[in-house]
Amino acid sequence: MDLCERCGNAEITIHLAVEESTVRLCQDCFNDINSFELGVELEEQPEAVFIPDVQGVMHHFNIIKRILPNGIFLEARENVSLGYAFAVHGELDSDQSMLFQKLIDKVKHHLSKQYLEEMTFPESKQKHLTMTGDEIQGTFDYDENNDDAPLIIIDGKPYEWDELGKILRSNEGFQFQLKISDLTDDI
Ligand SMILES: [Zn+2]
């Protein structure tokens, strides 16, 4: 693990271009620099939260804070690879504890929904995935095994593009709407 060039004790996540050179920083140091330049303190918030889904399964989220010239971003990222991810954005002068609460409410709201469920065909006893309703929400991620299509994260689990196709096959003849929005948008 490469360590931050400013504090020397945390992982580098930011490459900041300064004039001709690049400074490699951890998230906290990058926030410190922006916080100083923008004159806004980033308040302490819990670094991790545990929230149950609709099945009662507990999910561990790490909270990532970012301060940028266009505002404060809080992100809850599940502590597994290719899990749930949620984010909120507030203005620089926003109430940061309310922003944190907005993030938690957003996580709870989305974890209270389940879009896919496993069903068993009565005759063959084969298992297959099906939609619980007429809507799916999720996030796109990078599929390292497929350069041609993204990985889809639904209910906090990764699905390949073809797997999603199989799930949707029962909807032939229907129309659909595909809308992309920023991680911080409310959907
Ligand atoms: Zn640092």
The full set of domain ranges for the chain reads: 40-111, 116-171
Q: How far is the CA of 85 from the centre of ligand 1 (A)?
A: 24
**What pairs with residue 11 in β-bridges?**
3
Q: How far is the CA of 178 from the centre of ligand 1 (A)?
A: 40
The CA-based angle 64-34-90, given to 5 degrees, is 55
Tokens of 63: 């909270």
Which residues are found with C-beta within 5 Å of the ion, ligand 1?
4, 6-7, 10, 26, 29
Look up residue 59 and give its DSSP letter: E
Q: How far is the CA of 23 from the centre of ligand 1 (A)?
A: 11
Q: How many CB atoms lie within 10 A of CB 25?
A: 21
In angstroms, the CA 137 to CA 115 distance is 7
Q: How far is the CA of 7 from the centre of ligand 1 (A)?
A: 4
Q: What is the pLDDT along the chain (187 residues), one digit of tens a residue?
A: 789 999 998 999 999 888 889 999 999 999 999 999 999 999 999 999 999 999 999 999 999 999 999 999 999 999 999 999 999 999 999 999 999 999 999 999 999 999 999 988 888 888 889 999 999 999 999 999 999 999 999 999 999 999 999 999 989 999 999 999 999 998 8
Instruction: Name the amino acid, one letter, at 51.
Output: I
